[in-house]
A and B are shown apart, each in its own frame.
Chain A
């Protein structure tokens, strides 16, 4: 049993983890930068420690500061949340060396699966279909050669990345030669790792991911898929489960592939296997996210499973609380990511003071947020302000509930993406369920 968990993150996910720990009777330590002195997670944790100045690289990405904070507070476990150090194998290793349990997979599993280029290779060896791609790019010309072999367009991706950072699509040799150093720079800043690789870019796929969990005793389950095709610049904006496109047969295949990959590397904890699902019904392994994801509540809504709590239990050495046969999929859930951005100004981030907060309730409504009246959103971090998750007995009801909720929610003083989400929910193609990752490119909000 952990005595105390340090949450190496901020904002809504830190709040989420603190809540789960409290329910398990575990003490919590929040860490924060100087810019996050008044962030909600610091107020609800049992202790809070300032670990550095505003810039992430000197605070939330500072391994010595975080481990030192664990040392001075006596924390025996660290939950990394998502982003920041959550998929950093070195951080996982250092936690282990300091006898602190990293709530996530081992450094070896992260290295094998979290590193996107190596994961593709590992999965390919396990017989999982992958999109054609390269290893880590050492020389731009090797990427150009690959692109000419498989045909443009191609996409350059950060191996340690996520959230659309360090990603660039290229349609010509020149674009690719420019894209690679830019992606490397972005990756270095966001993930402390500049390594990138290049893949064939499928033009009209759906992004479908499988949520899985595994314990230390060899048990693994999947919690079904999430369709995350509504993306802007590879950043997800709306996610739903189940996917309107998947048949039960394909769902089962993807789930089995995910479990196979998980067992192959001795994975422990929560993770997500992402696939691109092509128009002709074929799916290709894209990557594994070796952490809890932003959109995890969508899977929780349709299964009744608590992913974060289970992460903590599994890290403590407990067996999974359910078997695959126990997992029932019930109803339909949708999540909208509310960002402090102005959709009318090309989604420009608009940090600012929230002077009024009203969070709707009612059946099937869940809101995950660190917002409160009087909170000043700092400009240094991502612009996610709230996640609205609505569940319904079917997709129609879930959409109606989301519309009702978005119409009622108030985050006063902020420009947000709410009007944009409302327009998407009204869109015929979205309502039909027949959309792909190209949806937002064609969507005129």
Chain B
């Protein structure tokens, strides 16, 4: 059995840090938080799987922290170049953005390194970072989706 308080703490940790998925399992109960896996659904997704029917847990579902399930618009940012993807701001040595950051239209959210030269990836609208679709340093092609935003 998983304590509700534990779950809430876990969720808080999940929201504060740049984590895409968190999963905890205790016996037959498994709880999973994931960002952006199913757009147009609540950001928090929980799943409780029962392995043995006779051991039905008392607490089945954690309520979503957001009051209502709202329809969200998802925008994909696609690469305009062939090269290597990077999230890092070279001037500061840290990522430009992390999950759930709010960005303004036109702000730099990453780069594509093309033959050693950094090309800017800019947010196309005001929005919130929903998902990174590629890894740091990953080779990418023209038109490849690199990030998803909730706008």
Within 8 A of A (CB), among B127-151: 139-144
Q: For residue B141, which residues in chain A have a CB less than 8 angstroms away from its CB?
A: 49-51, 69
Are B144 and A71 closer than 8 Å at their CB atoms? no
Partner of A65, one of B81, B84, B140: B81
Which chain A residue has the least Cβ–Cβ distance from B114? Answer: A68
CB proximity of A47 to chain B, nearest CB, Å: 10
Are A50 and B142 closer than 8 Å at their CB atoms? yes
Are A69 and B143 closer than 8 Å at their CB atoms? no
CB proximity of A69 to chain B, nearest CB, Å: 5
Which chain A residue has the least Cβ–Cβ distance from B84? Answer: A72
Asked, given contacts A65-B81, A68-B83, A72-B84, whether A52 binds B142 with beta carbons under 8 Å apart, the answer is yes
B44 within 8 A of A: no
| Interface residues of A, dominant DSSP | helix
Partner of B139, one of A51, A52, A73: A73
Q: For residue B143, which residues in chain A have a CB less than 8 angstroms away from its CB?
A: 34, 50, 53
CB proximity of A442 to chain B, nearest CB, Å: 47
A67 within 8 A of B: yes
Q: For residue B115, which residues in chain A have a CB less than 8 angstroms away from its CB?
A: 64, 67-68, 71, 98
Range for the number of chain B residues in contact with chain A? 10 to 19
How many angstroms from the CA of A54 to the CA of B141 in the assembled complex?
14
Which chain B residue has the least Cβ–Cβ distance from A52? Answer: B142
Please give the number of chain A residues whose Cβ is less than 8 angstroms from any Cβ of chain B in the complex: 16
CB proximity of A53 to chain B, nearest CB, Å: 8
Q: For residue A72, which residues in chain B have a CB less than 8 angstroms away from its CB?
A: 82-84, 139-140
Q: For residue A49, which residues in chain B have a CB less than 8 angstroms away from its CB?
A: 82, 141-142
Partner of B82, one of A53, A69, A98: A69
Partner of A34, one of B81, B82, B140, B142: B142
How many angstroms from the CA of A64 to the CA of B113 in the assembled complex?
11
Are B114 and A64 closer than 8 Å at their CB atoms? yes
How many angstroms from the CA of A67 to the CA of B84 in the assembled complex?
13
Q: For residue A53, which residues in chain B have a CB less than 8 angstroms away from its CB?
A: 142-143
Within 8 A of A (CB), among B75-131: 81-84, 114-115
How many angstroms from the CA of A68 to the CA of B139 in the assembled complex?
10
CB proximity of A70 to chain B, nearest CB, Å: 9
How many angstroms from the CA of A69 to the CA of B81 in the assembled complex?
10
CB proximity of B1 to chain A, nearest CB, Å: 49
How many angstroms from the CA of A144 to the CA of B81 in the assembled complex?
45
Are B139 and A65 closer than 8 Å at their CB atoms? no
How many angstroms from the CA of A52 to the CA of B141 in the assembled complex?
8
Interface hub of A34, A68, A69 (most chain B Cβ within 10 A): A68
Q: For residue A64, which residues in chain B have a CB less than 8 angstroms away from its CB?
A: 114-115
Q: For residue A50, which residues in chain B have a CB less than 8 angstroms away from its CB?
A: 82, 141-144
- Complex interface bits, A44-64 against B, C-beta within 8 A gives 1, otherwise 0: 000001111100000100001
CB proximity of B52 to chain A, nearest CB, Å: 47
Are A51 and B142 closer than 8 Å at their CB atoms? yes
Q: For residue B140, which residues in chain A have a CB less than 8 angstroms away from its CB?
A: 72
Q: For residue B144, which residues in chain A have a CB less than 8 angstroms away from its CB?
A: 50
Interface hub of B81, B82, B115, B144 (most chain A Cβ within 10 A): B82
CB proximity of B148 to chain A, nearest CB, Å: 19
How many angstroms from the CA of A65 to the CA of B115 in the assembled complex?
9
28 contacts between A and B (CB under 8 A): A34-B142, A34-B143, A49-B82, A49-B141, A49-B142, A50-B82, A50-B141, A50-B142, A50-B143, A50-B144, A51-B141, A51-B142, A53-B143, A64-B114, A64-B115, A65-B81, A65-B142, A68-B82, A68-B115, A69-B82, A69-B141, A71-B83, A71-B115, A72-B82, A72-B139, A72-B140, A73-B139, A98-B115
